[in-house]
Amino acid sequence: MAQGTGVSYEELQLAARNHGLPLEALRWDVTPVGLHYLLVHYDIPDVDADAWRLEVDGLVERPLSLSLADLRDRDAVELAVTLECAGNGRAHVEPHVVSQPWLLEAVGTARWRGVPLASLLDEAGVQDSAVDVLFTGLDRGVEGEEEQSYARSLPLADAVAGDALLAYEINSVPLPPQHGFPLRLVVPGWYGMASVKWLARITLLAEPFDGYQMRHSYRLRAEEDEDGVPLSRIQVRSLLVPPGIPEFLSRARVVEAGTCVLGGRAWSGEGEVEGVEVSTDGGETWTEVELGPAALGRYAWRGWSFRWEATPGEYELCSRARDAAGNVQPLDPPWNVGGYANNAVQRVAVTVPDRG
């Protein structure tokens, strides 16, 4: 476990605003709303729901201006989706990367309800010259010395083919302010940055959008001044529900000797999870675990469990998932300039006390 990486006051400010999923909440199939992780670049905007409109413009045959009631009148779908921040795991990379210092907890699964993006684009009539779909949020701030609205785009093909959703409900309640009220995009299988909250405008473009959150942020780069590769799909990962009880400060675990049922979740945006292994010796030896049902569908995490016969001693528990695309979680964190997509295996220090 990387420790003593020296988080600054600025990073603490971000960490205190943007909370993670307490890992014991991995127990729930669907994350209770208040326990879902949160990432807000600027401030949560104050939105007047009655005055709010979603504009659909740019290269469309029929520009749309829709109220929340207009959207609620349309055919709705509900999808269980696991969202994960691309910066999850950042605090474990070396050398240290300054930004929101996530350890492992920037993940959650919700049932999102709303209008399929593809159906709305169909209604607006996308012109042949369009190649990119820009989503602009209501929140504004300054980042990289550039004042901006949070804005991200998707290639048209990904926008229409991937079950992307314009969601106005999470887990059967209206979106709370922090998760994008009144409407957000949800892009299944993609890292969270694509799922623009507080959505105000969808614009069809003839060129790929080149805004700050595309050009500068969310790219895999080995060096600051290279172009790099844009982040898109979530890399395979698994996490354990921390077993036993924690020591307050270190969070190290104490587990009683005997049978201990270890459990957790596994997910990937690149293909179905094919299997999960567990190690109790820090990754020296591995045992295949039992996967739970894929009850939440293809875009959500899957449960797993393993019966561990714990005997007194010191352990380092790890879990390692693999997906249908042939990806396996690495043992060591990958490094890049933004500290993104670190899907290295989790390591949980456990003491099983000898009570004899």
Ligand X SMILES: Nc1nc2c(c(=O)[nH]1)N[C@H]1C(S)=C(S)[C@@H](COP(=O)(O)O)O[C@H]1N2
Sites of contact with Mo ion (CB under 5 A): 39, 85, 192-193
Q: Of the two residues 231 and 255, which places its CB atom closer to ligand X in the complex?
A: 231
Q: Which does 179 bind (CB under 5 to 8 A by kind): Mo ion, ligand X, none?
A: ligand X
Beta-carbon contacts of 9 under 8 Å, excluding residues fewer than 6 positions away, are: none
CB 25, min distance to ligand X, A: 13
Among 112, 198, 209, 301, binds ligand X (CB under 6 A): 198
- Does the protein bind ligand X through residue 37 (CB under 6 A)? yes
Q: Of the two residues 39 and 278, which places its CB atom closer to Mo ion in the complex?
A: 39
Q: With H, G, I as helix, E, B as strand and everything else as coil, classify residue 261.
A: strand
Q: Of the two residues 182 and 192, which places its CB atom closer to ligand X in the complex?
A: 192
Q: Of the two residues 90 and 320, which places its CB atom closer to ligand X in the complex?
A: 90
Total residues binding ligand X (CB under 6 A): 18
- Does the protein bind ligand X through residue 113 (CB under 6 A)? no
Q: Could you tell me if 113 and 77 are in contact, meaning their C-beta atoms sit under 8 angstroms apart?
A: yes
Q: Segment contacting ligand X (CB under 6 A): 22-30, 195-203, 248-256, 321-329?
A: 195-203
- Residue 217: count other Cβ atoms within 10 Å of its Cβ: 20
The DSSP line for 149-207 is EEEEEEEHHHHHHS--EEEEEETTEEPPGGGTTT-EEE-TTB-GGGS-SSEEEEEEESS
- Does the protein bind ligand X through residue 237 (CB under 6 A)? no
Among 38, 239, 344, 352, binds ligand X (CB under 6 A): 38
Provide the 8-state DSSP code for 26: G
Q: Could you tell me if 41 and 13 are in contact, meaning their C-beta atoms sit under 8 angstroms apart?
A: no
- Does the protein bind ligand X through residue 302 (CB under 6 A)? no
Q: Which does 112 bind (CB under 5 to 8 A by kind): ligand X, Mo ion, none?
A: none
The DSSP line for 55-118 is EEEESBSS-EEE-HHHHHHS--EEEEEEEE-TTTTGGGSSS---SS---S--EEEEEEEEEEHH
Residues forming contacts to ligand X in the complex (CB under 6 A) are 36-41, 83, 85, 137, 139, 150, 179, 192-193, 195-198
